[in-house]
Amino acid sequence: MIPLAKTAWKWLGGLPGEAWILIGGVAALVGFLVWNHFDNAAAIEQHDHARAAAGAAGREKSAEENVADAFENQRLRDQRDAAIAQAAATEAAKPPESRAMTAPQALALNCAIAREDYTAAELAKMSEYQEHCR
């Protein structure tokens, strides 16, 4: 092995200066390309971490809003279901001849939808709401 290395060293030592400049330039270019590859990978990873950190606050706020919306939606569903159940019980307590032609559940649902869609001032002006939903 050592004789092979000595022969290679003699052969390389016999190269002219221009060949050494070319070998040095190629080595420098390869070194730059390797360094650039790892530097780009690090920059991309750093950018991804920064982007994820920037979006964390927005994701957390969005999650909190989703929880608040879920509670509000459940409260509204419970309120609607209670109104429907109350209307059904009230209607069942009436004698058959004085019961409404519209199902009490449908009437209570329509009243609940009206309360969600209109303000109290608008509801006060609606005669049908005053007649059926009070």
Q: List the domain boundaries for the chain.
A: 74-134
Give the chain's end-to-end CA distance (angstroms, integer).
105
Residues 6+ apart with CB under 8 A from 8: none
Per residue in 20-77, pLDDT (tens digit) is 788 888 889 998 888 887 777 777 888 888 888 888 888 888 889 999 999 999 999 9
For the whole prediction, is pTM greater than 0.95? no
Among residues of the chain, what percentage have pLDDT more than 90? 18
* Confidence (pLDDT) at 76: 93
DSSP 94: S
* Confidence (pLDDT) at 70: 95
